[in-house]
Structure 1
Amino acid sequence: MIKPPRWSDADLKAEVEQAIALFRHERLDEPVEVWRKTFDAHDAQFRTLFEKHGAHDLKSMTADQVVSIFEDNLGDALRYLAGPPISEDDLKVLADASLAPSRLKQDDQAAERILSTIVQALDSKRFPWVAENREPTDAEKRAAVLTSAALITAQRVSTLRRNDGKNKQEGGVKEFLRGIGFQEIAPRTIRTLADAPGAGQFCGECLVGSRKADIPIRLYDGRLMPVECKVSNSSTNSVKRVNNDASVKAGIWRRELGENQVVPAAVLSGVFNVRNLKQAQDSHLTLFWAHDLDKMGEFIEKTR
């Protein structure tokens, strides 16, 4: 059977440089309208939280007001009053409460625990008047709204970038595979090779052995190539994406399905470190690049 490609240091360096150049181009050309629209939406939410629901005076709020906040879909804004913001899952645990308005309506104590949790974690830099037991000035309220909106907007836009990048990359890989004659079939749980797509087929994200793969591909020679799509915005982040995730999965798949039966691979885009990629290759992870999928196609063709 044909061995998967292994890239030299020079190969990896050239690909890394091209990927970073593309990353810079995409990031600098990113429309500011996404930020503006997201910011404006959250700015309006925080103003409503303050003006309609009285959240500028948290210590005086009632359980009914907390319910009203969640009924108006302002739970995220409420969580971002904390410093640092409290995640939805963390708030459920910390307050020992459901965040569903219908449940909170029937449980005043749960609503009060949510309020108490937010007050305890409140960001004193944005809301100094609460700790000082005084009314805020108009300037302080406006500053608190603006900084809170900026805080949640930064998080939302970052998440949007990450998800869009991954979705775009996965879509590109699937389109490429269809372009070289592969057939996409419905995802399925792949416990053994018998469960996998047939030769010349692939599917979307599914469980391969005990770990999920983004795109399992069945090569022409019968081997399974589970592909992980990895987008990184920094060399530090790339360690998490490739070395601590994709490489670990590669080892697990080789143990569970057989070293000669799988070709674990990753398709990369963004910012990566050559040294870390060399380590990934040494862990039997085959590397391809989203900007040069033809190399993946060349390997696939050789497996006929």
Structure 2
Amino acid sequence: MKKPPYWTTEQLTDCATAARAAFRDERLSEPLERWKKTFDEYRAQFHRLFDEFDIASPENLSPEDVAGIFQEQLGDALRYLAGPPISADDLKVLADASLGPSVLANNPDQAQRLLDTILIAIDPRRFPWVAQERAPTEEEKSAAILASAALITAQRVSTDRRNEGKDQQENAVKDYLVSLGFEEVPVRHIHTLTDAPDIGQFCSEAMVGSRKADVPVRLYDGRLMPIECKVSNSSTNSVKRINNDAAVKAGIWHREFGTNQVIPTAVLTGVFKVHNLEQAQHGGLTLFWAHDLVELGKFIESTKPKGK
């Protein structure tokens, strides 16, 4: 059977440099309109909290007010009164409460616990008047709205960018597979090779053994290639994306399916440290790059039986 490529340090360095350049060009060309639109949306939300719910005096809010805030889809803005902001998942655990508007409307105790949790953590830098038990000046109110809108916008744009980057990469890989003649089939849980897509087929994100793979592919020689799409925005982040995630999955898939039956693979976009790439490759992870999917195609074609 054809072995997957094992890149030299020089080859990995060249590819990592090209990927970093592509990432830099894409990031610098990102339109400012996204930031401006998101910022304006959240600034309007914080204005509503102040104008409609008198959030300047959060200690005066009632459980009904809290339910109304979530009903008006202002819950994200409310969470960002805290310093640092409290995530939705953390808030549910810390307050032992639901964030569902209908649940809060019918359970004032839960609404009060949400409010109490946020009040404990309210940011004293953005909202200094709360601890001082006084009304804010117009300048303080304006500054708090601008700072809070900027804070939540930075987080939201960053999260959306990561999610979109991964989605775009997965779609690019799937489109490329289709261009090679592969067929996308319905998702299934792949316990054994008999559960996998047939030869020349692939599916979207699915459980492969005990771990999820972004794009499981069945090669022409019958082996399974679970592809992980990894986007990294820094060399530090590459440790998490490659060594602590994809490479760990590679070891698990080799143990569960056997080294001759599965080729754990990662397609990479962004910034990666060559040392981390070498470690992952040494651990059994095959590497390709989103900016050079032709190399992935070459290997896939090489798995065809001779004469076909």
Which residue does the alignment assign to 1:94? 94
- The equivalent of 2:77 in structure 1 is 77
The residue number in structure 2 matching 1:3 is 3
In the TM superposition, structure 1's runs of 4+ consecutive aligned residues that sit over 3 Å from their partners are: none
CA distance in 2, matches of 1:174, 1:68: 43
Superposed displacement of residue 240, structure 1: 0.2
Tell me the SS of whatever aligns to 1:293: helix
User: 1:155 corresponds to which residue?
Assistant: 155
Unaligned 5+ runs, structure 1: none
Hey, what does 1:264 align to over in structure 2? 264
* 1:226-237 alignment runs, 5 A limit: 226-237=226-237
Find the aligned partners of 1:185 and 1:102 in 2 and give their Cα distance. Answer: 39
Measured against aligned partners, the alpha-carbon deviations of 1:197-230 in whole angstroms (never above 9, x if no partner) come to 1111111000000000000010100000000000
Matched residue, 1:119: 119
TM-score, normalised to structure 2, is: 0.98
Looking at structure 2, the residues matched to 71 and 230 of structure 1 have their Cα atoms a distance apart, in angstroms, of 36
Q: Report the equivalent of 2:182.
A: 182
CA distance in 2, matches of 1:281, 1:100: 45
Inter-partner Cα distance in structure 2 for 1:287 and 1:128: 51
Cα distance in 2 for residues equivalent to 1:99 and 1:297: 47
Matched to 2:271, the amino acid is V
Determine helix, strand or coil for the equivalent of 1:136: coil
Equivalent position of 2:243 in the other structure: 243
Q: Displacement, 1:105?
A: 1.5
Q: Secondary structure at the match of 1:212?
A: strand
**What is the rounded CA distance, in whole Å, between the counterparts of 1:98 and 1:25 in structure 2?**
42
**Could you give the per-residue CA deviations for residues 148-201 of structure 1, whole angstroms, max 9, x where no partner exists?**
000000011001110111011001101110001111111110000000011111
CA distance in 2, matches of 1:163, 1:133: 41
SS in 2 for 1:56: coil
SS class of match (2:221): coil
SS at match of 2:53: coil
Q: Secondary structure at the match of 1:227?
A: strand
Rounded Cα–Cα distance in structure 1 between residues aligned with 2:168 and 2:219: 23
Distance in 2 (alpha carbons) for counterparts of 1:181 and 1:111: 55
Structure 2, unaligned runs of 5 or more: none
Q: C-alpha distance in 1, partners of 2:166/2:266? A: 12
What residue is the counterpart of 2:67 in the other structure?
67
**Equivalent residues in 2 for 1:28-47 (5 A)?**
28-47=28-47
Percentage identity across paired residues of the two chains: 62
3-state SS, counterpart of residue 52 of structure 1: helix
1:94 Cα deviation (Å)? 1.1
- 2-side partners of 1:268 and 1:110: how far apart? 44
Residue 215 of structure 2: aligned partner:
215
Name the residue aligned to 2:301: 301
SS in 1 for 2:161: helix
Amino acid at match of 2:27: R
Q: Matched residue of 1:55: which SS?
A: coil
Distance across 2 between alignment mates of 1:187 and 1:108 = 42
1:108 matched residue in structure 2? 108
Give the structure 1 partner of residue 192 of structure 2. 192
Residues of 1 paired with 2:21 and 2:100: CA distance? Answer: 45
CA drift at 1:131 = 0.4
Provide the rounded CA distance (Å) in 1 between the counterparts of 2:242 and 2:48.
42
Distance 1:245 1:147 in 2: 35
Most deviating of 55-64 and 74-83? 55-64
Q: What's 1:137 paired with?
A: 137
How far the C-alpha of 1:89 sits from its partner, in A, is: 1.2
State the number of aligned residues: 304
TM-score by length of 1: 0.99
| Cα shift readout 1:101-151 (whole Å, capped 9, x = no counterpart) | 211122222111111111000000000000011110001001000000000
